[in-house]
Every structure is written in C-alpha cells, then in structure tokens.
Amino acid sequence: MATKLKPVDIAIVGLGWAGGIVAKELASTGLKIVAFERGAPRATNPDFMAPQVHDELRYSRRHELIQNLRKETLTFRNDPSQRALPMRQLGSFLPGEGVGGAGTHWSGLHWRWTEWEHKMYSGTVAKYGKSIVPADMNLQDWPIDYHELEPYYDKFEKVCGTSGKAGNLQGKKIDGGNIFEAPRANEFPNPPLTQSHNMVLFEQAARNLGYHPFPVPASNASRPYVNPDGVALGQCHYCGFCTAYGCEANAKASPHFTVIPLAHKNPNFEARTNSYVMKVNLDSRRKRAVSVTYLDAGGREFEQPADLVILAAYVFGNVHLMLHSKIGKPFDFQRNSGVVGRSYAYQSMGGVAALFSKDTYFNPFMGSGALGTWIDDFNSDNPDFAKLGFIGGGGISSGSNSGAPIGRRPTPPGSPRWGKGWKKAVVETYHRMTAVGNQGSVMSYRQNYLDLDPTYTDSFGRPMLRLTFDWQENEFRQMEFARGICANIAKEMGAEQVLSRRDRGRYSIVPYQTTHNTGGTVFGDDPRTSALNKHLQSWDVSNVFVVGSSVFPQNAGRNPTGPIGALAYRLADTLKDRYLKRPERLVSA
C-alpha cells in the first residue's frame, strides 16, 4: 500500500534540461515543488572528476550514465505485423538517467530550429502544394512559430554559454555564420571553438563548392564564462571525452550545475532522487490529476498529491506515463485515431568516411562533443523537395569529437577485422581517417508510433512501452542524396579514398545511432492530431503539462535540445503568467 504524503503544489517528473529549467524558473514562486528523478543525484564533484571520468570503457561502452534497462525498457518491432520484443541491451539510443538527465552526457550541439522547421506542413504546402505530402506522412506544424520562441532560444543559449557565430543577426546575413538560420536578436554569448584540421579542410572544400560553412553552435564553452544566472562555466579543454561523459571542467553546459542548483536555493523546492514515478493518478472523472505514485530506492511505494503535474521524463517516459495513466486518447494504428504515442520520429546518421594520404594527421583525440563545421545548404527547406523527391533535409558536417580507440579504430573497407593484417591497417589508418556526416530529418508516419506492449512488463509490473519504427522511402531518398553531397565534399577536401555504403536496410535497434527521439505527445492546435495544446497542456487533463522532444510533431535535420530548452523556458512563463493565476484550460478545444 502506498504511503500518502502531504500535498504539494507542483510535481515535476524528470530532472534533465526540460525538468531542470522548469524547476528553476518555478522555484522562485515560493510554491512547494517536488521533482522526481529515477536516477541518482549527480554533481561535477564527485561524479565527473578527472582522471576517472575519462574512462572510455566505463562511460562510452558500459554506459554508466544511461538508463538501467533491468528496471525499465521498451519493446521494439519494425512494423505492426511483427511481434515486438524487448530491448534487452542498450543500442540505438541512450536515454539519460540521474540528475541532469542526458544533459550531463550530451555533446552540446545547440541549435535553434529554422522558421520552416517550426512550420513544416504549411511551409511545404505553400511551396509545393498538398499533393507532395505522402498519404501516410503526418506532416504537421508546431502551434507556435519561431518568433514566439526567439527570446527563449536566446535565453537558453546564454544560460549554456553557447559558442558560435551568428549568420542572421536581426535579418542581416553574415558570412561565416549560418546564413540559413532564422533571424536572431543577439550574437552568441561566446565565440566559436577552434577548428581542427579536418574542419579547416571541410570549410575550404564547402566554400569551393559554393556552400556556406559555419561553426556548429556548441554548448562547450570556448572561453571561461559566467552566465546571466551567475553560474561559471570553465573553458573547454577539447579533451575528447565528451559525448557520453560528464565534463570535469563545467565547460559543457548541463542542468546538474546550472539550473538545478539554482532551484535548490529555494527551500520550497525538493528533488527526490532514486525515485521512480510509476503513474499519474486521476480523479474519478479523469479530468484532473490528483497525485503521482512513485517508488523510492528501497522499492517502497508513495503517493504524492499535487495540484499540477509536469512530465519532463524524455520521450519514452512522457509517452509511457501518459499511456499508463490513461491521460489522453492512445493512438490506435488500425483506426488511425487517438494521439498519445502518435507521430514518433527519429533521425538518420549517414555520410561518408574519408581516407587521406599517409602524412595526414587529424589528431581525432583533440576535440569536443560539439566541435564541428557544418552546412545547412541541404537542410531545412533548402533542398528542392519536388525535384529531389523527399521532404526534409540534413545537416552536413565534419567534426572532431573523440579519438578514444575502443570506439574509434577505423580501417579501410576490405581490411581484415583481426590478426596481423588488421593491426597493420589500424595503425596505418588511425590518424588519416575522417568523416563527412549527414544528420537527416525524419518525418512522422502513421506506421511509426508508440503504444503499450500486450506481453512484456517492466520490473515494476507495468506494461512496457512498445516502439514500432522503420525507415520510409522519403528518408532513404534524403540519406542517399546527402551521401552524394558528403562524398563530393570529401573529395574536394582531398581525400584519397571516399568510403560509403548504400544502405537501405531496415532500422535496427542494435547499433548506436542517435538519442534524438521525438514525438508521441505532440503539441498542436487540433486535439485530433495532438495530445497537448500550444501551451503544452494536456487537452484532456488540464493540470498535466508535458515538455521535451516528445512534443515535436516530426524531427529536423539537427539536434533537438535547443528547442527543448526554449520550450521549457516558455512553459515556465506560461505557468507563472497565466496558469498559476487561473488554473484552467488555456485553450478551448
């Protein structure tokens, strides 16, 4: 039996960027707030201290900071005709766990999405007509546009000390920045990071080909920095142990040392760590949430009453909690109706490897998670969709992120995988291989969705979340087109050999690809195609709000956390300025 606790005003589920930002912004209201985090407390000292934090086996292979699947995982299948089976080992994506969530171990590519990326449906139809949209594609607009989010994008960059160069300052295009970006009010808070050798080659090659290269906006601070909240960030060491690791220097912006400690300054804020939220409990009319049920580290069950519940438990946690708590209509694939679990999307990672002459030294170990040079010439709505036969695009880039050799020990194709020939190939290749990558957008489709599994339960006895996902023709075309561009750039960079593989295989849960999952609790203007209204409020249960990339209707060809942070800041303002004053539905259906 659950122990019932004294009521609080607000319960937040999940303490990553999304939950951390909302916690920090609301804590100053004086309302009693409890944030639940299934993972452990984390602080730079002692959790991310050198030298132990630079342990490739522990963090990058054994995934110490990632979700523990023994407790909770999901089932997966490629299409609705198959039986879904559990993801028993980590692979395709690495959801975070612990205070700071995936923000402790992300890479730090910190984007604002373009104007079109907030209005993909209307933007596409205006240019190409309705007939360009395939019947099974759920192409949808965000219910708000870029300009509404701009101040929040700005705020989040300043909190993170993002290093970059503006390419569109108040409408003025600036060479060397991303001329395709939406207009920004301000320059980045820090100058770009220093380029590595492959990035210099990429930049030159892209320019030669008439493209517009620019430094990837990086929340790896290029210099010591104090953010507007008074939090100090150190200068990035380019240590090369960044993606999947915590940062000893506090140079990689993370909620665990920025927003979350600021929430803690308010005595009315409490974080309950090692506390797994099982369910949101509703009143008998299923119109209001009354409490959340959670288990502490010892497995004891508690019921925490709260007036307002904010789900910030990443895509899988948000959708699972909504479905298991029966908030909103679950998506039904057969009938193509319902919204919770609808429009799951992902991202494609492709491109080419490039082998240079024997005297080349890329020094791949000098780098940071977000260090890269990028072009948007084929991203967003810059490609000609009608001519190329796909909707969407991809960011094309070359970066220097890690030389740690369990993960990075390239050999040319055709080399043996082991034995003396392998060893010779590894030694000969290590320094002279680089890559030109494509990060491709993925649209949402009727047949790619999340629901509850009929067979498998997690260690707590809840039905597992079931993921049904496969690549679709639209995405294959984008990947193939981008691969050609990547190959041309690699040749122009002077590669002796460009190595690429045409791959139209099914999506596999096995190899790591990216933790850029989206959708499932989409926000929108129409309750038939969205679970949340434009204020991120559940259409059905008005004191439940949801934040994170689960609200994106489809994915873009760039990383998701910039808009996640911006939406979290906007949500906090919505709650402070409107909802908490009059707790009711903010949009009538």
Q: Which residues are catalytic?
A: 516
Position among 459, 460, 473, 484 found at the interface with other proteins (CB under 8 A): 459
Closest CA to 22 of 584, 439, 482, 569: 569
Q: Judged by CB under 8 A, how many residues of this single chain contact other proteins?
A: 76
Contacts of residue 156, defined as CB under 8 A and 6 or more positions apart, other chains included, come to 21, 110, 562, 565, 566, 569
- Check residue 474 for interaction with other proteins (CB under 8 A): no
Angle at 108 between CA 104 and CA 114, to 5 degrees: 130
- Report the alpha-carbon distance of residue 381 to residue 349 in Å, rounded: 19
- Report the alpha-carbon distance of residue 386 to residue 399 in Å, rounded: 31
- Report the alpha-carbon distance of residue 173 to residue 170 in Å, rounded: 8
Contacts of residue 364, defined as CB under 8 A and 6 or more positions apart, other chains included, come to 240, 400, 401, 402, 403, 408, 430, 431, 434
277 binds, among ligand FAD, ligand SF4, other proteins, none (CB under 5 to 8 A by kind): ligand FAD
- Report the alpha-carbon distance of residue 354 to residue 412 in Å, rounded: 9
- Report the alpha-carbon distance of residue 176 to residue 191 in Å, rounded: 12
The residue to which tokens 């942070």 are assigned? 565
- Check residue 512 for interaction with other proteins (CB under 8 A): no
Which residues 98-157 are close enough to bind ligand SF4 by CB under 6 A?
A: none
Q: To the nearest whole angstrom, how small is the minimum distance from the Cβ of residue 434 to ligand SF4? A: 18
67: buried, middle or exposed (CB in 10 Å: 19+, 13-18, 0-12)?
A: buried
Q: 225-244 mask for ligand SF4 (x: CB under 6 A)?
A: -----------xxxx-xx--
Contacts of residue 586, defined as CB under 8 A and 6 or more positions apart, other chains included, come to 533, 535, 537, 542, 574, 578, 579
Contacts of residue 555, defined as CB under 8 A and 6 or more positions apart, other chains included, come to 345, 346, 347, 441, 442, 443, 516, 518, 519, 549
- Check residue 106 for interaction with ligand FAD (CB under 6 A): yes
Position among 56, 117, 376, 381 found at the interface with other proteins (CB under 8 A): 56
242 binds, among ligand FAD, other proteins, ligand SF4, none (CB under 5 to 8 A by kind): ligand SF4
Position among 369, 395, 437, 562 found at the interface with ligand SF4 (CB under 6 A): 369
- Report the alpha-carbon distance of residue 362 to residue 490 in Å, rounded: 14
Q: 89-128 mask for other proteins (x: CB under 8 A)?
A: xxx-------------------------------------
494 binds, among ligand SF4, other proteins, ligand FAD, none (CB under 5 to 8 A by kind): none
Which residues 244-273 are close enough to bind ligand SF4 by CB under 6 A?
A: 245, 247, 249, 251-252
Window contacting ligand FAD (CB under 6 A); options: 227-235, 454-462, 519-527, 558-566: 558-566
- Report the alpha-carbon distance of residue 174 to residue 390 in Å, rounded: 29
Position among 262, 313, 485, 536 found at the interface with ligand FAD (CB under 6 A): 313
- Check residue 94 for interaction with ligand FAD (CB under 6 A): yes
Position among 42, 63, 184, 483 found at the interface with other proteins (CB under 8 A): 63
459 binds, among ligand SF4, other proteins, ligand FAD, none (CB under 5 to 8 A by kind): other proteins
Position among 44, 73, 542, 574 found at the interface with other proteins (CB under 8 A): 73
312 binds, among ligand FAD, other proteins, ligand SF4, none (CB under 5 to 8 A by kind): ligand FAD
- Check residue 108 for interaction with ligand FAD (CB under 6 A): yes
- Which residues would be at the binding site for ligand FAD (CB under 6 A)? 13-19, 36-39, 94-98, 101-103, 105-109, 243-244, 276-277, 312-314, 317, 369-370, 515-516, 548-549, 559-561, 564
